[in-house]
Structure 1
Amino acid sequence: MKLILGYIISSVIACAAGTVTWDGYSLSINDQRIFLWSGEFHPWRLPVVHKWRDVLVKVKAAGMNAISVYIHWGLTNPAPGVFDFNEYRALEPLFKMAMEIGIWIVLRPGPYINAETTAGGIPHWVTSHVSGHLRTNDTAYYNAWRPYIDKVAELAAPHQITRGGPIIAVQLENEYVDRDDVGYPGKREMMEELKAAIRSGGIEVPLTINDAYMGANYVNGTGSGDIYGFDSYPQGFDCAHPGHWQPVIETYAKFHKHANPHQPLYIPEFQGGAYDAWPGYEACATLTNGEFESVFHLALLASNAKMINIYMIYGGTSWGHLPFPGVYTSYDYGAAISENRDIRVEKYAEIKRQGLFLRSVPDFYKTDIMPDTTWEISPTPGSSPVAATLLQNSDTNSSFLIARHQDSTLSGSSSFHLRIHANSHVRAQWQIAGELQIPQIANSIQLEGRQSKIVTTFLASPPAVEPRRNTLLYSTAAILYFGWMGGREVLVLTGHGNQEHEFAVFLQTSVMAAVHPFLNMSPCPTSSLYTIFHVLPGLTGLVPIHESKNQAIYFVDTATSRTFWAPMLEVMEPKTPPFQTFWSVGSNSSIIISGPALVRSASFHPHLHQLSITGDLDPSASVYLTIIGMPLTTKSIHWNGQEIIPLKSLSVDANFRAMFHLVPNPALLNSDHWPQQLDNWEYANSLPEASFHYDDSNWVRANHTSTNLSQKPYCGKHVLYGCDYGFCEGVVIWRGHFVSSPKIDGVTLTINGGQGFAASVYVNDVFIRTTYGNSTSNKNIISETTEWYSFPNGVLTEGENVLTIVQDNMGLDETRNHWDTDGSRSPRGIRGYDLHNGDFTYWKVQGKSGGFNNYPDRKRGIFNEGGLYGERMGWHRPEVPKDGQEWTTRSLTQGLTGGYSGIGFFRTHFQLKLFPGRDVMQSFHFVDCTSMTPTLQPYRAWIFVNGWMMGKRVANLGPQTRFPVHEGILVNGTNLVVIAVWGMDATVAPCFKLELATDRVYDQS
């Protein structure tokens, strides 16, 4: 039992290997408070398992300690009673990697996950073949999701922290309202059933809630979890206008105090980018850039949030038919780690600066928001108003003032002074007289542009060594690292190089660093125990402020801090403690490295006296590597397995700080062995179904007269919804047979494919035209069209005729407005048909080969293929022998044979040399012919790489022309690339080239 803020609570979940507890401040793991600083990662959006490690390493290198992970029900349970947790769908490899690297996991199995994926992650067979309302306690829906949850629990339970694994929490459902006056009743009851199922499956860790907004849904009562949280996307998703800022939300703390003060303030999803509705992801990165992170993340910290998950830290790829209709193939999200796994330096660096501060200052994990009677700020004359919050740790008296422009949308400048009205106990502890004024030498504390700052006061030495002693009286510069290394107390501060900064510290000896022209030093007027350092504008690089046998202080400007790393130092002993790779819980050992593009790991082998570091170098330039805090017994240093010799020692102790010169392999920049433009294409027709003489006798007869879908057909005696017949992914082809009469002159069709869809209509062998959906920045959305298709004169024959419809399914909708959960039962197909002066005798339908139950490509899974003829024949898969289809030599720029409209497959092979010791990031680029208007190109193209559908080019809408493909899908040696091209216009031919580009290379040798 714990007494926290006047509330008596019981909040311990324990077992042999580890414990997770919580109170109104934070989580505690094994009785140590932690700040949950997490990033969202969906492994299934990176379908190369060994590349997951790269993402997790970059998460940890940014100072984060956890990932949040959605599991995709639809991917892992593709048909009733069928479960597939193999390949990229596997969970155990992720759990093991997280344990090895030292990353906690919050698991989010849904069943509904949203995530901008088709049907919000609900399997397509559930949306069409299961009656009853989705996301309710309806028995049919329960019977659908329960086996899936049982399987997830079975796989996850052995990897909980309570059994020695990395899983510290499991989320119930996702962003759901608890009221019965919207949507359908039975929500709370479903949540209670879900909670019971998870617990009965052996899950012991806390169960969490992520409310879609500050709605207090499932805070308590039936269906509630152990820890409530709410999502926040304060900047919105208007990537088309990335310069437009929203104001900071100031109500988090007030809501938390009212809703769940006995639990930590938890944000399960805080905006780390934006999903894009067609203007392009670089704009989303601008919308949520490093300035956004500075202002909005620190505003969240000022609200006293201690559990934060950034959505997304790595977005990845919605390859195949994973997307819902509101997005395209890329799920880059404008995240700190881009789709091709490269680091977006500005965004990533700001997250890293914040992460290293949070990792270094455990006093921040338990703070209260202080009344403004204990402090005051005074803006300088003419300055814009400043908003600030003071957080204080009541146990240690350390405090943190978080300041920003009062109008958080401003891009101008503000400056201010701060006075802390410390109580008598604090004044006596720190031996200061009267109030603390900050700064004392500098002109002011400055905010320039969209910036926030943390001003730290009364911070004692790191808690690894007791008793703690007074160290940092105050600092207007941010703390980048504070801890023990190499037998010393090490403090690294950072700030913009064009601003002045000031900090007052207790120096344990009088040994000083060399005088620097942009650094002043003087005794502190408030107390002679402390020395004030005044950093002038213009100081750049990593600058030693003070170094002695017991203490080291450094300042680094924010630009230089981009290549500043503080990896956990793993000591390679024969017997290692549990959770050794996890910061604070297992180890507090660290080392500082400045210079490389990335530091992946650092380890020390005591018996060899060897320090081993792994990381990445940019091969375009040599790097001066600075290492601070080497173990005192170090005799050799290795970089990526190769011993390196220091150029010189930079400290009083040769083993503490030294510089090295690393020269990357220049051959890495030679990309001659990578094909740039792909040639030697073969071509085959992939729309034989448009022929009057095509034999569809083996197709499914579309003769249903009822459907589970809530959106019923408008007209026509048969239900023509693809999912009802097991064909829900990608292209579905319909053939309506009818007997001609002199009065039949056309047909009215209502076709539903989701926003941005398309469908081409043929009668007998003749192309009529294509109908288009639309989506422009999630505006002017057209997901369904009703149009008249006139039959050309003379096209009908006596007797039987055939109407052929090639329809693109853009994915199923997520839960719709007003909590209509059955919105995921999207009516994709022909929602209404009326043959003028006639009727259809019967309909046939064909989609993905095998449908839900018998699709052939089990390795890549249910969402990899659609119903194009070439897909059904396996032309895109290298393991399928080339059949008897006639392939002819034809370039991409020649387009389709037999006219501008139709569908054709192009394929070619190319050789690729992949060498160890380098990370090569590559993408396929569509280069449209210059005669075409870039935004009005009436074609679609699917790109298959060694069988994987890694991109869908929607050329009439855009914007994606670049499709990253990872090593592991690309292989060393012979590769097969196949492009399926759908021409949609009778007068404009598809015309483009395809190139394989090298986006980035890193030297890991």
Structure 2
Amino acid sequence: MMMALISRRMGPLQLQNQERLFIWSREMHYWRAPVPEMWIDILQKVKAAGIPQCKGRNFERLFEIAKEVGLYVLFRPGPYVNAKATASRFPGWVTTGAYGRLRNNDTRHTDAWTPYMNRMSQIIAKHQVTNGGNVFIYQIKNEFGNQWLDRSCDLSECTGTNGNVPDFTTFEYYTSFQDVALTQPSFLAEFQGGSYLPRGGPKGGCVNNTGPDWVNVFYRHNVAQNIAAANVYMAFGGTTGIPFPGVGTSYDYSAPISETRFVSDKYSETKLFAQFLRVARDLTKVDRVNNGTTYASNLAIMTTELRNSDTNAAFYTAHALSLSTDRSPFKLDVSTSAGRLNIPQNGGDIAVNRRLLSLIFSVGREKLTYSTAEVLTASITASQSFSSGCRLAKVESSSWTV
């Protein structure tokens, strides 16, 4: 399947043409926006937010629209998808008991889902990136534990045409996170992007708890942990048109695109982060060099340093307490191509009440020596380099406009 295209390296994901990718994706459920004409509007807003992948449980028309818009697809076909839907989207006829116990190796259940998966695999194969399509990753099932082990195939028989790749699974839990290899990338298949609204819950769900400030802190915290790939649940929640005992009709999910398809307050913050990931190409191959309070003049600031060994680009995140909203002034000691600097250099302090990304990276032939402001994007036009969103920046070339 599609996974045969991808190999895992010290950085994020690397294609066979050696291009490194930082996977940044958001999820939608086509059946919660049941009118296909709505999908174009939703996916265009996803694309406009700088997100190159969209994860959905979808069929061919949605593949086609996503390709027209310019999105890759991370595909999860089910049939079990959970998603706070009745029977977790199992068809009603399979829940009657006539097909044995579901989601295990009961042969009656296996006989029920095998034709579906065979057909879905045939459809998906046509849309894989290896066949000129845009399906990028194929997730076998949702929230699946050890049950699959008894029915896993012989890899010598099932190896894809592009060779073996490591398994991406979601059931390992490490009793000690210190045992995790810090140089290895991680994939968060369902990182929190909001929350569903339970019956009787607060109006609008957890809008305040997972708003723009939350996005600013925790998305950047993932970068500090060297997360190489993430799918955020959800981009667009939509409306649940079928009953489910724990959730009302609305599945707004406090998502960047609301149930009514308006963009919410955190859409802009999501876009800022996604657009930055697109231009910070040096971030696709970094190691966690160090972390601690010694980088900053204020002990309340915990700093993590990420560095690209090929280009010497560096990325720093800072703040000791993720829940803190205090404006904590400090200076930051960083290593740049111009030597060690104590920034900002032009007087004053960095005052941050959320999460900071201090940046040193390349755009074309130019280098951003450092920035204490967040970068939205950068481009090269007629041999001139431009960046947007950098208010406090020092550049090694006068051709960089800030």
TM-score between both structures, scaled by the size of structure 2: 0.90
> For the pair shown, which has the larger CA radius of gyration, 1 or 2?
1
CA separation of 1:61 and 1:156: change in aligned 2, threshold 3 A:
same
CA separation of 1:294 and 1:169: change in aligned 2, threshold 3 A:
same
Matched, 1:401 2:316: yes
Match of 1:686 in 2: none
Q: Distance in 2 between matches of 1:121 and 1:200?
A: 30
Contact 2:32 2:238 in 1 (8 A): yes
Q: Distance in 2 between matches of 1:131 and 1:276?
A: 32
Contact 2:293 2:300 in 1 (8 A): no
How many Å apart are 1:50 and its aligned residue? 2.0
Q: Distance in 2 between matches of 1:286 and 1:203?
A: 45
Q: Distance in 2 between matches of 1:304 and 1:159?
A: 30
Match of 1:452 in 2: 355
CA separation of 1:210 and 1:21: change in aligned 2, threshold 3 A:
closer
Report the 3-state secondary structure (helix = DSSP H, G, I; strand = E; otherwise coil) of the residue aligned with 2:141: coil
Q: Distance in 2 between matches of 1:147 and 1:153?
A: 10
> Structure 2 unaligned runs (5+)?
none
CA separation of 1:116 and 1:207: change in aligned 2, threshold 3 A:
farther
CA separation of 1:493 and 1:201: change in aligned 2, threshold 3 A:
closer
Report the 3-state secondary structure (helix = DSSP H, G, I; strand = E; otherwise coil) of the residue aligned with 1:188: helix
* Among candidates 380, 384, 396, match of residue 484 of structure 1: 380
Match of 1:172 in 2: 140
RMSD: 2.9
Q: What count of residue pairs does the alignment treat as equivalent?
A: 398
CA separation of 1:255 and 1:170: change in aligned 2, threshold 3 A:
farther
Q: Distance in 1 between matches of 2:132 and 2:277?
A: 25
AA matched with 1:337: I
Map 1:111-510 onto structure 2 (within 5 A).
111-178=79-146, 186-190=147-151, 192=152, 209-211=168-170, 215=173, 254=178, 256-257=180-181, 264-278=185-199, 279-319=201-241, 321=242, 323-344=243-264, 346-372=265-291, 376-379=295-298, 385-404=300-319, 406-420=320-334, 422=335, 430-432=337-339, 435-448=340-353, 451-457=354-360, 459-460=361-362, 462-463=363-364, 468-469=365-366, 471-494=367-390, 502-508=392-398
How many Å apart are 1:493 and its aligned residue? 2.4
Q: Distance in 1 between matches of 2:260 and 2:161?
A: 37
Contact 1:418 1:439 in 2 (8 A): yes
CA separation of 1:63 and 1:442: change in aligned 2, threshold 3 A:
farther
> Structure 1 unaligned runs (5+)?
1-11, 72-90, 179-185, 218-250, 495-500, 509-550, 555-1005
Q: Distance in 2 between matches of 1:369 and 1:396?
A: 15
Contact 1:26 1:34 in 2 (8 A): yes
Match of 2:14 in 1: 28
How many Å apart are 1:307 and its aligned residue? 0.4
AA matched with 1:437: N
**What are the Cα deviations for residues 681-706 of structure 1, in whole angstroms up to 9, with x where unaligned?**
xxxxxxxxxxxxxxxxxxxxxxxxxx
AA matched with 1:377: A
How many Å apart are 1:328 and its aligned residue? 1.1
Matched, 1:67 2:54: yes
Q: Distance in 1 between matches of 2:131 and 2:203?
A: 40
Report the 3-state secondary structure (helix = DSSP H, G, I; strand = E; otherwise coil) of the residue aligned with 2:375: strand
Q: Distance in 2 between matches of 1:207 and 1:441?
A: 48
How many Å apart are 1:165 and its aligned residue? 0.5
Contact 1:171 1:208 in 2 (8 A): no
How many Å apart are 1:24 and its aligned residue? 3.2
Map 1:512-551 onto structure 2 (within 5 A).
551=399
**What are the Cα deviations for residues 760-811 of structure 1, in whole angstroms up to 9, with x where unaligned?**
xxxxxxxxxxxxxxxxxxxxxxxxxxxxxxxxxxxxxxxxxxxxxxxxxxxx
**What are the Cα deviations for residues 338-378 of structure 1, in whole angstroms up to 9, with x where unaligned?**
0111100x200000000111001100111111124896212
AA matched with 2:195: A
Contact 1:153 1:201 in 2 (8 A): no
How many Å apart are 1:441 and its aligned residue? 1.9
Map 1:851-866 onto structure 2 (within 5 A).
none
Report the 3-state secondary structure (helix = DSSP H, G, I; strand = E; otherwise coil) of the residue aligned with 2:208: helix
Q: Distance in 1 between matches of 2:219 and 2:160?
A: 36
Contact 1:172 1:208 in 2 (8 A): no
Matched, 1:553 2:385: no
TM-score between both structures, scaled by the size of structure 1: 0.38
Q: Distance in 2 between matches of 1:324 and 1:437?
A: 56
Percent identical pairs in the alignment equals 33
Report the 3-state secondary structure (helix = DSSP H, G, I; strand = E; otherwise coil) of the residue aligned with 1:386: coil
Q: Distance in 2 between matches of 1:112 and 1:502?
A: 49
Map 1:711-726 onto structure 2 (within 5 A).
none
Contact 1:153 1:202 in 2 (8 A): no
**What are the Cα deviations for residues 54-81 of structure 1, in whole angstroms up to 9, with x where unaligned?**
111111111111011135xxxxxxxxxx
AA matched with 2:386: V
Q: Distance in 2 between matches of 1:127 and 1:203?
A: 38
Q: Distance in 1 between matches of 2:131 and 2:207?
A: 39
Report the 3-state secondary structure (helix = DSSP H, G, I; strand = E; otherwise coil) of the residue aligned with 1:389: strand
Match of 1:52 in 2: 39
**What are the Cα deviations for residues 402-424 of structure 1, in whole angstroms up to 9, with x where unaligned?**
112x222222221211112x4xx
**What are the Cα deviations for residues 866-924 of structure 1, in whole angstroms up to 9, with x where unaligned?**
xxxxxxxxxxxxxxxxxxxxxxxxxxxxxxxxxxxxxxxxxxxxxxxxxxxxxxxxxxx
Q: Distance in 1 between matches of 2:68 and 2:163?
A: 22
Report the 3-state secondary structure (helix = DSSP H, G, I; strand = E; otherwise coil) of the residue aligned with 1:58: helix
How many Å apart are 1:207 and its aligned residue? 8.5
Report the 3-state secondary structure (helix = DSSP H, G, I; strand = E; otherwise coil) of the residue aligned with 1:257: coil
Q: Distance in 2 between matches of 1:206 and 1:100?
A: 29
CA separation of 1:199 and 1:45: change in aligned 2, threshold 3 A:
farther
Q: Distance in 1 between matches of 2:237 and 2:214?
A: 18
Matched, 1:39 2:29: no
CA separation of 1:276 and 1:148: change in aligned 2, threshold 3 A:
same
Match of 1:105 in 2: 73
AA matched with 2:279: S
Report the 3-state secondary structure (helix = DSSP H, G, I; strand = E; otherwise coil) of the residue aligned with 1:52: helix
Q: Distance in 2 between matches of 1:169 and 1:292?
A: 28
AA matched with 2:20: R
How many Å apart are 1:324 and its aligned residue? 2.5
AA matched with 1:28: Q
Report the 3-state secondary structure (helix = DSSP H, G, I; strand = E; otherwise coil) of the residue aligned with 1:282: coil
AA matched with 2:329: S
Contact 1:160 1:205 in 2 (8 A): no
How many Å apart are 1:142 and its aligned residue? 0.7
Structure richer in helix, relative to its length: 2
Q: Distance in 2 between matches of 1:140 and 1:21?
A: 36
**What are the Cα deviations for residues 817-863 of structure 1, in whole angstroms up to 9, with x where unaligned?**
xxxxxxxxxxxxxxxxxxxxxxxxxxxxxxxxxxxxxxxxxxxxxxx
AA matched with 2:66: A
AA matched with 1:390: E
